[in-house]
Amino acid sequence: MHDIRILTLNCWNGRADPRAIGRLLEERSIDAACFQELAPPQAEAIGRVLGHGKLSPSRDFRGQGIALRFEADVLPVPIPRRDAWAVDLAPSDWPQLVGPLQILGVHLQAPHVRPWASLPLRRAQVKALRRWLAQHPATHRALAGDLNATPLWPAYRALAREFEDAARAGGARPRPTWGPTGSAPRLLRIDHVLTRGLDALACEVVHVPGADHSALIVDLRLRDDAP
């Protein structure tokens, strides 16, 4: 039995079908969802299902949001160009949790956009994120989002030193999450849920019409023996 079900999805700057996103959140009983490249139509559909958290849509690829089933404050995590967001879930507001849980929504710079500038920016983003994590320790933590990095790339490897990859739950072979168009086969695994102090019980990759990324859904349980 899971304690919380988390989703992450890049909405492709508003191209993802808003109605499909709303149905997915409702039908899969999502508790917390992190969105990247969120635009107003998607934010409206999301807000009708998950009424808490914070949604900041835009049309410039910087829209983002964390949508929640119950109350919690969403705070910025300062990183260059595009802040990450963090939320601390308390058992007093989240009755299924036996302890506090921190969720971070992250969207790292894509490496192929002006690579001479993007690669140093990505390194700076990861460095700032790791510094914030060290300064704000949490026993139970999940980092979810579009890292624009496969497990072979430096950004993923740097973060994976401090986390476990939920997509490897139960020894399953992780599935790719991104393709060059909404209808193209998924080629790369660049969307991730990384965890600390949590057991990943299940992981699912779900197609969302109109999006070049698939949604990643994970079931998590707080680990009793977490340090």
pLDDT class of 79 with cuts at 50, 70, 90: very high
> In residues, how long is the chain?
227
**Which stretches within the chain are classed as H helix?**
18-27, 40-49, 115-135, 154-160
Total domain count, the chain:
1
pLDDT score of 224: 81
Q: Does residue 171 fall inside a structural domain?
A: yes
CATH number for 31: 3.60.10.10
Domain-embedded: residue 166: yes
For residue 88, give its domain range: 4-222
pLDDT computed for residue 225 by the predictor = 66
pLDDT band at 204 (very low <50, low <70, confident <90, very high): very high
Residue 64 lies in a domain: yes
227 lies in some domain? no
Q: Between the CA of residue 70 and those of 51, 54, 87, 97, 212, what are the distances in Å?
A: 8, 12, 11, 12, 29
Is the C-alpha dihedral spanning 22, 25, 26, 31 positive or negative? Answer: negative
- Give the C-alpha separation, 176 to 58, whole Å: 26
**Over 70: is that where the pLDDT of 205 sits?**
yes
Q: What is the pLDDT of residue 8?
A: 98
pLDDT per position as a tens digit, 103-130: 999 999 998 878 878 899 999 999 999 9
